[in-house]
Chain A
Amino acid sequence: MVPPILINLLSGLSVRLLVFFLLVLLVFFLPRLLPGDPVAIFLSSDLSRDLSGSEAEELRSQFGVAGGWLQQLGEYLSNLVVGDLGYSVPHAAPVSQLLKAAIPWTLLLIACAAPLFLIAGAAGGIEAGKAPGALFDRVATGTVTVIASIPPFTAAVLLLLAFGILWPVLPAGGAEPLFPSDNPLQRDFDVARHAVLPVLALSLHEVSRFYFLARGEAITLSQRPFIINACGRGIKGWRLRTAYYGRSLFPVFLARMSDSLTGLFGAVLFVEIVFSYPGTGHLIYNAILDRDYVLLQGAVIVMAGLVLLLNWIIDAVATSLARRG
C-alpha cells in the first residue's frame, strides 16, 4: 500500500510541472513580444552608445537574442536545465550566483515570520471566536481590521521609522553590519537584530489573514458537539485551546497557507525593499531599476519555481490531512 501522501504528491506534481513550463515559456516570450530587445535597451541606456555592427551582433549572442526564436528558445531551455540563468552585466556576476546569495535571506525572513503570524493568528482568532461579541473579540477584531487595512509597505515604513530612525534601537536596513563580526555568536546576534523589523512587518501583514480564518472556524467549532462536550466536562484553558480548537484548525490553516503563498512572497518583496534587506525581493527590485532583464527573468523563474515547490508540498500535506478528517 502506497502511503496516501505520496499519491497526493505525485498527482500535484504534473500540474505544477506544466505550470512551471508555461511560466518559463511566458517569461521567455513576453520580452520578445514587446518592442525593442535587451541589446537595444542596453545601448539606449547611458552605458555605451557607439558600437559597431559586429560588436552589437556579438552582444546579441551574449544576451541570447541572436538567431531565430526557436533557436533562442532551444538554447535558453538547455541553459536553464543545467542551471545557467545568464550573466548579469550590472552586477558583473552570473545570475545563479546572485540568486544563491539572496534566497537564504528571503527564506530566513519567511521562516522566522511564519510561526509568528500563524501562532498569533490562531491564538487571537480562537480567543475571539470562542466568544464572538465579547470584549476581547471586539477589541481584537477592531485592531486586526485596522492592521489589515494598512498596506504592507506602509506598515513596514512606519515600523522602520518608529524603531529604526525616530527611536533607533534596531538597525534600519541591511541584513548584517557592513563588516560582519568574526565571532560566530556575535554574527548570529547581529543577523537576528537586523531581521527583527522585517520579520515583524511581514508578520503584521499576514496575521490578519489567519486571524479572521481562525475566528470564523472557532465560531463554527464552538457549536460542534465535541467542543460543547469538552466544555461540559470542564476542560478549559490551554488544553481546550490547543487540543480541541487548535488541532481542528490545522487542516484549514494549511489549505490557506498553500493558497496564500503567492501573497506571502509578494509581501516579502515589499518588506525587503523598504528595509533594503539583501533577499530576492531587493534583488528583483534593483534589477527592475537597473533594467537588468537577464537577472529579472532568472529571478522570476527561480522564485516561481520555489513558490510552486512549497505550494506543492503544503498542498499534498493538506490534502492528506483533509482526507483523514
Chain B
Amino acid sequence: MLGYWSPVTQSAGFVSKGALAASVILMMAGFTLSESLPAYKTSPDVLHPPSAEYWLGTNGIGQDVFIGLVRAAPITIFLALVTATVALALALAASSLAAFGGPAVRGAVLRVVDVLQVIPSILLLLLLAAWIQPGFLGLVVLLALTGWHEDVRVALPILLRELTRENVHFARRMGASRTYCLRHHILPAIWPAIVGLFLQNVRQAALKSAGFGFLGLTDPRLLTWGSMMQDAMEHLYTDAWAWLLLPPAGALSLFLIGILIIGEGYSQSGGLTGKEQYDPG
C-alpha cells in the first residue's frame, strides 16, 4: 500500500478541483450578472402578483422578487462557502495541533472541543446577533467560530490513523522529509474526508445563515435568501406567500440538495462513512 494516489483519491481530487473552479466561475458570473441587473429598489407596485413585468411578483415594499432572488444567490452561496472554508481551516489547524503536539496538547484541544460541543451555541449566537446585527463578515466569524469543533471530531481520528500508517513510516525511514510525507502520503489520503467535511460545513453554514436571515437578525442591507423569506412571514394570510416564500425557499433547498448529492458522491468514493454525515444543524 505504498501508492496513495489510487484512482479513487485521484478522481476525488480531480473532481473537487473541477468543482472548486466551476463554483468560482459561477460565483464571478453571478456577481457580474447581479450587478448588471436592475437595482433591487422599492416601487409603488406593492405585492404585485407574478406578471410579465415582475416575473416573480413584488414584495411588501415593491421590490422585484426575481431580481432579489438573483442578486441574493451569489451572496448566499459565497457566504456559505467562505464560512465553511474558515471553519474547516480552524478545524484542520486544531487537529494538526492535536496530532503533532503531543498528549498534553491533544488533551487540551479535545477538552476545548468537548466544551464547545455542550455549549448551546445557538443561544449565544442569538444573543450576539441581537446586539450587533451581523453583516457578511460578522456572520462568517460567528458561524465559523461556533462550527469548527464538530469537524475536529471527524478530522482528528482520520489524521491520527494516517500518520501512523506504514507507508509514512517507510517513507520517513527512506529519508523523506516531513513536508514530503505530508504532501505525498497524508494529504492525498485524507483529501476525500476534507472535501466531505467541507461540503457538510457548507450545508451547515447555509442553513444557519438562512436561519438568521429568516429571524431578521442580520444586517438589513445584507440580502440573502433567508432574509427574503422573512419578507413572506407577514403575508401568510394573503395569497402573496406563494411568490414571496416559495422562490427563496426553493432556491435554498435546491442548493442544499445539490451539496448533499455531491457529498454523497464523495462518501461513496472513500470519504466519510454514512454515519458521520448528514447532521443538519
Interface check A108, CB cutoff 8 A:
no
Indicate whether A154 sits within 8 Å of B126 (C-beta atoms), given known contacts A165-B237, A205-B280, A216-B273: no
Chain A 263-281 per-residue mask, 1 if CB under 8 angstroms from chain B, else 0: 1011101100100000000
Give the shortest distance, in Å, between B93 (CB) and chain A (any CB): 22
Indicate whether A288 sits within 8 Å of B119 (C-beta atoms), given known contacts A151-B249, A300-B127: no
B122 touches A19 (CB 8 A): no
Indicate whether A149 sits within 8 Å of B119 (C-beta atoms), given known contacts A157-B236, A215-B274, A288-B130: no
B215 touches A273 (CB 8 A): yes
CA distance A293 to B124 in the complex (A): 13
List A contacts of B211 (CB < 8 A): 151-153, 266, 270
List A contacts of B124 (CB < 8 A): 23, 26-27, 300
Q: Which of B119, B275, B278 contacts A304 (CB 8 A)?
A: B119
Indicate whether A262 sits within 8 Å of B122 (C-beta atoms), given known contacts A149-B257, A154-B249: yes
Give the shortest distance, in Å, between A245 (CB) and chain B (any CB): 15
B131 touches A34 (CB 8 A): yes
List A contacts of B278 (CB < 8 A): 148, 208-209, 212
* Surface stretch bound by A, among B10-18, B39-47, B110-118, B135-143: B110-118
Interface check B217, CB cutoff 8 A:
yes
By secondary structure, the A interface counts as helix
By secondary structure, the B interface counts as helix
Number of A residues contacting the other chain (C-beta, 8 Å)?
58
A157 touches B245 (CB 8 A): yes
Give the shortest distance, in Å, between A104 (CB) and chain B (any CB): 19
CA distance A291 to B130 in the complex (A): 8
Give the shortest distance, in Å, between A32 (CB) and chain B (any CB): 11
List A contacts of B127 (CB < 8 A): 27, 30, 296-297, 300
Give the shortest distance, in Å, between B143 (CB) and chain A (any CB): 13
Give the shortest distance, in Å, between B103 (CB) and chain A (any CB): 19
B120 touches A153 (CB 8 A): no
Indicate whether A265 sits within 8 Å of B120 (C-beta atoms), given known contacts A165-B236, A212-B274: yes
Chain A 289-318 per-residue mask, 1 if CB under 8 angstroms from chain B, else 0: 001010011001001100110010000000
Q: Which of A30, A146, A259, A273 contacts B128 (CB 8 A)?
A: A30
Indicate whether A266 sits within 8 Å of B122 (C-beta atoms), given known contacts A216-B275, A217-B275: yes
Give the shortest distance, in Å, between B267 (CB) and chain A (any CB): 10
List A contacts of B119 (CB < 8 A): 19, 23, 262, 304
CA distance A265 to B217 in the complex (A): 18
CA distance A267 to B214 in the complex (A): 13
Docked complex: A133-170 residues within 8 A CB-CB of B = 145-146, 148-154, 157-158, 160-161, 165
A216 touches B131 (CB 8 A): no
Interface check B27, CB cutoff 8 A:
no
A209 touches B118 (CB 8 A): no
Give the shortest distance, in Å, between A298 (CB) and chain B (any CB): 11
A288 touches B120 (CB 8 A): no
List B contacts of A26 (CB < 8 A): 124
Interface check A202, CB cutoff 8 A:
no
A262 touches B121 (CB 8 A): yes
B253 touches A15 (CB 8 A): no
Interface check A195, CB cutoff 8 A:
no
Interface check B7, CB cutoff 8 A:
no
Docked complex: B198-231 residues within 8 A CB-CB of A = 207, 210-211, 214-215, 217, 226, 229
- Of B117, B233, B252, the most chain A CB neighbours within 10 A belong to B117
List B contacts of A209 (CB < 8 A): 278-280
A265 touches B245 (CB 8 A): no
Pairs A–B under 8 Å by Cβ, sample size 9: A27-B124, A151-B211, A151-B252, A151-B253, A152-B207, A153-B229, A285-B215, A291-B130, A297-B127
Interface residues in chain B, defined as those with a beta carbon under 8 Å from any beta carbon in chain A:
114-115, 117-124, 126-128, 130-132, 207, 210-211, 214-215, 217, 226, 229, 232-233, 236-237, 241, 245, 249, 252-253, 256-257, 260-261, 273-275, 277-281
20 more contacts with CB within 8 A, not counting A27-B127, A151-B214, A208-B278, are A15-B114, A16-B118, A19-B115, A19-B118, A23-B119, A146-B257, A148-B280, A149-B256, A154-B229, A209-B280, A259-B117, A263-B279, A266-B120, A266-B211, A269-B126, A288-B126, A296-B127, A300-B124, A300-B127, A307-B118
